[in-house]
Chains A and B, each alone.
Chain A
Amino acid sequence: MYTRILVGFDGSEGAERALNAGLALAKALEAELHVIMVEEDLPKYAATIGEYDEVKQQRDAYFAQLERQVHLAAQLAEVPVQTHIVTGHEVWSIVDFVKHHQVDLVVIGHQGHSTLHERVFGSTASSIVAHVPCHVLVVK
């Protein structure tokens, strides 16, 4: 049914549940599994390149650690995985990836923000559901 699955991963508890679900689905369906990690909190409108680069290096180190975590989980589940670390807005980076790589299922975790937060800012999960042109599995 699904041939290419994408999991959004940021190291949170919700994302870990999504990763586990993605691994199980990919194994059961023999689908290609991709995991995307988005570095989104880099300083906007920086005064110097160095200001941006220093934060970027910290984020790169953190996401490299997450990447190792994903590969370890995939190894244990015996599922091949391709990881992608990209920079940008969390929602639009995932939407762009889906469009460019013909993904047919996106698996994401539910963050569980407060009702007020979700009313004001909306949740990442609902934004992804609204904008990706494929099926989405939100794991709670």
Chain B
Amino acid sequence: MNVWWTAFIWIALALAASLVSVRLALSVALAEILFGVLGGNVLHIQPNEWINFLAGLGGVLLTFLAGAEIEPEAMRQHWKAALAIGFVSFLVPFLGAMAYVYYVAGWEPNAAKIAGVALSTTSVAVVYAVMIETGMNRTSLGKLILAACFVTDLGTVVALGLLFAEANIWLLVFVIVLAVTLAIAPSLTRWFFRMVSAHTSEPQIKFILLLLLMLGALAVKAKSEAVLSAYLLGLVLAGTMAKNRDFMHRMRTMTFTLLTPFYFLKAGSYISLPALWGAAGLISILLVVKIAAKVVGCYPLCRAYRMPHREATYTTLLMSTGLTFGTISALFGLTHGYITQLQYTVLVTVVIGSALVPTIIAQTFFKPAVEEEVERESAPVMQQQASVAYEDR
């Protein structure tokens, strides 16, 4: 097919997904996955080499952006509890899902590992949005939960990056270069951003791309995964990025306009609708396994950190959400041949389900009453509870 025609079809799907997401107030990622399903099953679109590259770069940049969104101060304040809850929130679902698909569903060991990684995730963005609505984002419980989510995702990308890596000289080179880059990246980036101001040709974005591509190239050479280095680089640069909001906006615009549509459309195009119906039982069971594993791991810890039952349940359910890293892990498994298209369909559907089901349950039945606390704090509730009589102005 003519390259322009292929590009036209993919961008048409991306545009339709954008319009639907705006109209329905739905994440553009979710809309693109759904339009990808449509494209794959009805229009029979198939990713080619250049689409794979754009999609891969989109995944890497998305991971970098996700890592760069951490609040270093919140992590410093709650590091002990966040590490404990976040690590358990990764480990128990990872082991639980892996054990279930290996022993009960009869998946191959590598496929089981992918399932474990894909279902261990927590969606920081889903949790964040819920917290803005409840006003919990400014409470210390909210900051703790968000910090724990970052730790969970860190567990996921480390597992994805190391579980399938080959122990050879390139892995050693990758680890050394990664460690050095992470150590010097904050000061190097600050220096570069001071030297080169924002410009139409975007030297700042190119600098970050350079770091990401260098680390990605080494990661692939070591049979590891480029998202690991991207997420870690994002984490160490989070403080610098927080002071360069305009830069982050430009980078996000570029990523969400030109790269991630290919990534999410591709992710959706591999979902097989016929397989979906046949695997509905397994999908439901895995969703229950994921949530149950999060409950087993997180709830007791939350209680140990003196959270009341309602808050502990709410936290546990929010930690059960997943979207971005779950999709990234499943797509990694499919493109590297560790899982079949049927298994991919199952995993991505469970991941999408885990973004919706726990959030709805948490919001409907366990929403903590934090409004009063927020008002007492008289903090800018989302910039929102502006209670000012006009004569005071």
Interface residues of A (CB under 8 A from B): 39-52, 54, 56, 60, 67, 71, 74-75, 80-88, 96, 100
Contact = CB atoms under 8 A, between A and B. Distances in A.
Contact of B125 (A48, A82, A84): A48
Nearest to B381: A86
Given A71-B393, A86-B385, A87-B382, 15 more contacts: A43-B25, A47-B62, A47-B66, A47-B125, A47-B264, A48-B66, A51-B28, A52-B125, A60-B384, A81-B390, A83-B388, A84-B385, A85-B382, A87-B132, A87-B384
A42 B130 CA distance: 11
A95 to B, nearest CB: 13
7 closest residue pairs by CB, A with B: A47-B29, A41-B25, A46-B125, A85-B384, A49-B69, A46-B27, A45-B27
A100 B124 contact: no
A120 B253 CA distance: 36
Given A52-B125, A87-B133, A46 B29 contact: yes
* Interface-centre pick from B21, B124, B133, B248 (highest chain A CB count, 10 A): B133
Contacts of B355: 45
A47 B65 CA distance: 10
B384 A84 contact: yes
Given A50-B252, A80-B390, A45 B25 contact: no
Contacts of B382: 85-87
Contacts of B176: none
Contacts of A80: 389-391
A43 B29 CA distance: 10
A84 B126 contact: no
Interface of B: 21, 25-30, 62, 65-66, 69, 123-126, 128-129, 132-133, 248-249, 252, 256, 260, 264, 323-324, 355-356, 359, 371-372, 381-391, 393
Nearest to A80: B389
19 contacts: A42-B132, A44-B27, A45-B30, A45-B129, A46-B125, A46-B128, A46-B129, A47-B125, A48-B124, A49-B125, A50-B248, A51-B27, A51-B125, A51-B256, A60-B384, A75-B390, A86-B384, A88-B133, A96-B371
Interface residues of B, dominant DSSP: helix
A74 B158 CA distance: 56
A49 B390 contact: no
B386 A85 contact: yes
Contact of A44 (B26, B260, B372, B387): B26
B249 A47 contact: no
A45 B351 CA distance: 12
Given A51-B29, A83-B386, A44 B129 contact: yes
B356 A51 contact: no
Contacts of B386: 67, 83-85
Given A49-B69, A52-B125, A100-B372, A44 B383 contact: no
A43 B21 contact: yes
A42 B21 CA distance: 10
Contacts of B252: 48, 50-51, 54
Contacts of B323: 45, 47
A88 B370 CA distance: 14
